[in-house]
């Protein structure tokens, strides 16, 4: 499996010249393991904004923070 890089880089690589390229979205949530409870400290105003945003989008605080972390690490 090639290391993640822009698709143009892989296409330019002779080693992959005869390859078939496809993008597949995979929900890896079931491979992440059990949820763990943590204790973090955030400014009250930020926490209130997180809660407001999550509620407005039908999410929980934990779900929102987990998705935000995933997005930041992509």
Domain count, the chain: 1
Report if residue 2 sits inside a domain.
no
- pLDDT tens digits, the chain, 74 residues: what are they? 667 788 888 888 888 888 888 888 888 778 888 999 999 999 999 999 999 999 999 999 999 999 999 899 88
Of 40, 8, 42, 28, which Cα lies nearest the Cα of 70? Answer: 28
> Which residue range forms the structural domain that includes residue 65?
7-72
- The answer as to whether 14 is a domain residue is yes
Residue 40 lies in a domain: yes
Q: What pLDDT sits at residue 42?
A: 97
Residue 1 located in a structural domain: no
**pLDDT value of position 50:** 98
Is 63 inside any structural domain?
yes
For residue 35, give the nearest of 66, 60, 72 by alpha carbon. Answer: 66
This model's pTM is above 0.85: no
């Amino acid at each position: 499996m090639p290391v993640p890089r822009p698709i143009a880089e892989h296409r330019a690589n002779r080693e992959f010249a005869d390859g078939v390229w496809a993008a597949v979205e995979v929900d890896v949530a079931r491979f992440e393991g059990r949820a763990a409870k943590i204790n973090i400290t955030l400014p009250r105003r930020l926490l209130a904004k997180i809660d407001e945003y999550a509620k407005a989008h039908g999410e929980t605080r934990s779900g929102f923070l987990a998705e935000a972390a995933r997005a930041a690490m992509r």
